Amino acid sequence: MTAQQEGNSTRAQLLERFPEEADITEEGELVIGGCPVSELAAQYGTPAYLVDEIGLRRQIRRFIDGLSARWPNSEVLFASKSLPCVAMYAIAQSEGLSVDVAGGGELVMALAAGVDPDRIYLHGNSKSDTEIQMALDAGIRGIVVDNFDDLDRLDRLATTRQGVLLRMIPGIETQTHASQATGGHDSKFGLPVDQLRQAIERVNASPLLRLDGIHVHVGSQILDSAPFASAVRSVAELGPFSTYDIGGGLGVPYTDGETAPSVEEYLDVIVAAARELLPASAKLMIEPGRSIVARAGITLYSVNTVKSTAKTFVAVDGGMADNLDIALTGQRYDAVIATRMTEPRTVLSDVVGRQCESGDLLVGEVKLSRPQRGDLLAMPMTGAYAYTMANNYNGALIPPIIFCAEGMSRLGAERQTYEDLLHLHRPALQGSW
């Protein structure tokens, strides 16, 4: 191996969990989509969510092309709860992804981004009348019915023909965090098989509802492909339909200790089961979220203080307000000092956030290279389920999303401001208390 090759393979290793279009400068600084992170920090501030737009679009195409090559009558829906922002909906639309929305807010953003209503599906175990009405008014392609109350209201509110999918509880337990498992018998999502059969009869008897097929989603961050074959098996057992949606859930490797099936392996497993069990003419749908966006995104923080007490605490200017997932699921992430990517990582540190919770630990016991106040710290693999759960705990402001491609950066969503925070409190500000 030449010195050059050796350098490249070390670089590749260092960047394994970073976006596809990430690089390291000669000085050891992280670059996303051709933009050095120090320049992004100077322009947009921190904390900030950075997205590699080219890598993201490439990953979208892997899903769409991969599924249609294996099963031409197919549709890939972006589970938009994983990154609900107008820019992302627009990218989904431009690359040929359909989208699923989990409620009125996501529907509004998808429509505002110009997503074709014929490519939108509405989910939810607790839809309001207003949300059902919004979906009907927009003329979206499908409503995923979770319960009999959904059916009652659709019967009452629909005035033209509306396609529906019925969500089943498959009774599949998956090896994932309890908050991410949705397929077990006691799941709050969907109906068990006996009730689902009644729901099928109800829809078939309804003058305006059109039963397109069955939906199932067995869980999230699934690192083994067997549950996806089980998902196909469970929907197949209900008989022939024109559409089968087997949900999302493909996991991603957040750290070196995790491995996940590739998109191709995942699609092979699903399609092999579909060829065996589903009608050849049926439409096959999947709803990946995390596996589309996770790797494309990183979070960039500034280090506010480094303190060595019982441990070395590296405290950044964000925390569980911009990445709640960690406190909810215990998911382990990696963190690096973004301007010293190639230096040895020698200082065992707890990267902590600024929220007033001891549980606000972003990454425990991670080795960093000489962490100091003022450093930029990057957490890779935060493209999914970070922005979407961002909140105002301790008055934190929701960070911006910056899309980077070929050395250019643009804002997808602005940073919230203190004025935004006060905006909702106008009634209180106007009154005396």
Q: Cα(first)–Cα(last) distance of the chain, in Å?
A: 74
Task: Tell me how far, at minimum, the Cβ of 219 lies from ligand LLP, in Å.
Answer: 7
DSSP character string of 273-298 = HHHHHS-TTSEEEE--SHHHHTTTEE
Residue 34 or 171 having the CB closest to ligand LLP: 171
**Tokens 């006691």 sit at which residue?**
186
Cβ at position 206, least distance to ligand LLP in Å: 23
Residue 168: closest CA among 271, 238, 223 = 238
Rounded CA-CA distance 130/138 in Å is: 12
Residues 6+ away with beta carbon under 8 Å from 3: none
CB 292 within 8 A of CB 56: yes
- Residue 404 annotated among the catalytic residues of the structure: no
Residue closer to ligand LLP, measured from CB, 84 or 288: 288
Query: Which residue out of 35, 85, 356, 404 is catalytically annotated?
Result: 356
Least Å from the CB of residue 320 to ligand LLP: 12
Q: 253-259, long-range: CB within 8 Å, 24+ apart, which pairs? A: 253/17, 253/223, 254/17, 254/294, 254/331, 254/332, 254/333, 254/334, 254/381, 255/17, 255/332, 255/333, 255/334, 256/16, 256/17, 256/334, 257/332, 258/223, 259/223
- Distance of alpha carbon 26 from alpha carbon 39, whole angstroms: 16
Residues in contact with ligand LLP by the rule CB under 6 A: 79, 82, 123, 180, 182, 217, 220-221, 247-250, 287-291, 325, 329, 385
Q: Dihedral through CA 296, CA 339, CA 372, CA 413, nearest 10?
A: -40
Candidates 340, 361, 359; CA nearest to 351 is 361
Q: Would you say 277 or 328 has its CB closer to ligand LLP? A: 328
- Output the smallest distance, CB 425 to ligand LLP, in A: 28
Closer residue to ligand LLP (CB): 335 or 337: 335
Output 302 or 382, the one with its CB closest to ligand LLP: 382
**Cα angle value 98/204/189 (rounded, 5°):** 55
Phi, psi dihedral angles at 148 (to 5 degrees): -70, -25
Residue closest to 321 by CA, chosen among 366, 364, 295, 354: 354
In angstroms, give the least distance from the CB of 145 to ligand LLP. 12
Quote the least distance from Cβ 63 to ligand LLP, whole Å: 10
Query: What six digits make up the tokens of 160?
Result: 């033209």
Residues 247/290, Cβ–Cβ less than 8 Å: no
Closest to ligand LLP by CB, 47 vs 249, is 249
| Closest CB to ligand LLP among residues 44, 266 | 266
Q: How far is the CB of 113 from ligand LLP (least distance, A)?
A: 19
Catalytic residues, which ones? 356
